[in-house]
Structure 1
Amino acid sequence: ARGPERWRADAAAALAAAPRGGRAVLFPGAADLPARLTVGDLLSRTAIDAVRVLGGAAAGPEALVETRNHLRPDRSHDTLTLQLAPSRAGFVPFEVPDPHPCCGGH
């Protein structure tokens, strides 16, 4: 199998061998993503199974996601779920790529 079917098979094997929870840093499909894509494309091109928007908003398949080249989906019960936050252009991953201290290093 090639494409999404293969990615899902590879992801299933990796998930079976990995701990039962935590955050995925490397997963099938993550390396070749553009900076912006739809939720539908994100789900079909990667091993991510679902997205969840903070605050309960819906993110349909046509909603835009700005990846910031930093996706860290949560793993729970053999499922990868990417937490999203609303943004001006659609959604962004909740986890920021370069977190910094909020108080200037006090």
Structure 2
Amino acid sequence: MEEETSTNDSSFASTNDNDVYYEVVGEAKEKSLEDKVVQLMHNHEKQSEQIRQQSEQIRQQSEKMELQIGLILQYLQLKSLMSGFTLPNNDHDDNA
């Protein structure tokens, strides 16, 4: 009987199964989670930079389009002003 009480005595065992499990598996899981968080942060930064670059490209394209639209409008205004005028024929096919 004395053996039985000594093996059941909580002061006899310094760690329980949960502590051993955490020390063996828990630290590895914690490290794995830390690695995943670092990877997610890296991916987020990378995607944010890609979005910033795409936004800059879109902004530049918009500026070009605005310039082209302005030039087209100027051309159409000039064309409408000159609609009453005929342009001289610059063909040099005359047999003179």
TM-score w.r.t. the length of structure 1 is 0.17
Per residue, is there more helix in 1 or in 2? 2
Per residue, is there more strand in 1 or in 2? 1
Answer 1 or 2: higher relative contact order, Cα 8 Å, separation at least 6. 1
